[in-house]
Amino acid sequence: MLTRQRDAYLAHVAVERGLSPNTVAAYRRDLDRYCAFLASRACDDLADVAREDVAEFAQAVSTGADGGRALAPASASRTVVAVRGWHRFAVLEGWTQADPSAQVKPRAIPKRLPKAISTDDVARILGQAGVGDGIAPLRDRALLELVYATGARISEAVGLDVDDVELAPGEETVLLRGKGRKERIVPVGGYAVEALDAYLVRARTAFAQSGAGTPALFLNTRGGRLSRQSAWAILRTAAERAGVEDVSPHTLRHSFATHLLTGGADVRVVQELLGHASVTTTQIYTLVTRDTLREVYAATHPRAR
């Protein structure tokens, strides 16, 4: 019974809620672990689950008491979110009368400031992405220029099709699809437009000759859609060449937001550009810029001491 109920919920979040395949896969792993935990208690139906079962599972994933790996706070919190969502769905479907997870809260996650790098470091990374012979550097430069110009997630950038990009003068925009397949249109700056134009004219056609006619914007050497892992490798390689350390797949996105806010952009505009559902998510970047302002003030104001 649990297996059928789990599969129905995963189909719901994939189709009706539009969660990404990666998120659905993570939910499946979380719920598989939860099912194993319930099975160890001879529970084969969500209707038989008590609040204590959910609470003890939430504790177990943090400590490894269920025999599985002890999860980091963010992963443990996501696991509890998946379990709570499943139980709420069970109530809506009429499988259960009550939600035993309602009072079990996800573990608090320490707030971490996003990693942003300077504009000079960004310029060095983008420059190094275009270094080398052949057509790959044209693609790599275009990819990273677009990510920094639009604040796109790596997964959003590799998910683009050619028709999602408009490069006509005065109409330079890109259609990005974020979490839950929520769409947003973001302007594209001049450097990214030039890099994209060079890639489309001189490189993409050559890549496409090895494939089967995919509409994907960024292609691999086999003519298929560039993967998220390959895009991350492109960023990492360019950063190593540029001598910039501690770079992650979100570095250019974080830098995009921080540089906009430092330049005076309104936080709600940045929220729309990033595709955040809530402005509170975007406001974490204001802490970064506030620290920068404080440092500048302390270094330059004659009465700062």
Provide the 10 A C-beta neighbour count for residue 303.
4
Query: Is 87 among the catalytic positions?
Result: no
What tokens were used for 128? 């190094």
> Which amino acid is residue 155, in one-letter code?
S
Catalytic residue among 177, 225, 253, 259: 253
> Which amino acid is residue 8, in one-letter code?
A
Q: How far apart are CA 8 and CA 213, in angstroms?
A: 34
Query: Is 12 among the catalytic positions?
Result: no
Query: Is 294 among the catalytic positions?
Result: no
Domain ranges (residues) in the chain: 2-93, 119-297
Q: What is the pLDDT along the chain (305 residues), one digit of tens a residue?
A: 888 999 999 999 988 888 888 889 999 999 999 999 999 999 888 998 999 999 999 999 999 998 989 988 888 999 999 999 999 999 999 999 999 999 898 877 666 667 889 999 999 999 999 998 899 999 999 999 999 999 999 999 999 999 999 999 989 999 998 877 788 999 999 999 999 999 999 999 999 998 778 999 999 999 999 999 999 999 999 999 999 998 988 899 999 988 988 888 888 888 888 888 777 777 777 766 777 667 767 777 676 65
The residue ranges of DSSP E strands in 83-241, in sequence order, are: 165-166, 173-177, 183-187
91 CB burial (10 A radius; 0-12, 13-18, 19+): middle
Query: Is 259 among the catalytic positions?
Result: no
Residue 62 contacts residue 71 (beta carbons within 8 Å):
yes
What CATH number belongs to 119-297?
1.10.443.10
Catalytic residue among 153, 177, 225, 259: 153
Catalytic residue among 179, 184, 236, 241: 179
Rounded to 5, what percent of the chain is helix, strand, coil?
A: 60, 5, 35
What's the pTM?
A: 0.66
Query: Is 148 among the catalytic positions?
Result: no
Q: Is the dihedral of CA 102, 97, 56, 72 positive or negative?
A: negative
Catalytic residue among 107, 250, 254, 259: 250
Catalytic residue among 276, 294, 297, 305: 276
Catalytic residue among 27, 34, 199, 285: 285
DSSP bridge pairs for 176: 184
Q: How far apart are CA 5 and CA 305, in angstroms?
A: 63
- The CATH topology of domain 2-93 is DNA polymerase; domain 1 (1.10.150)
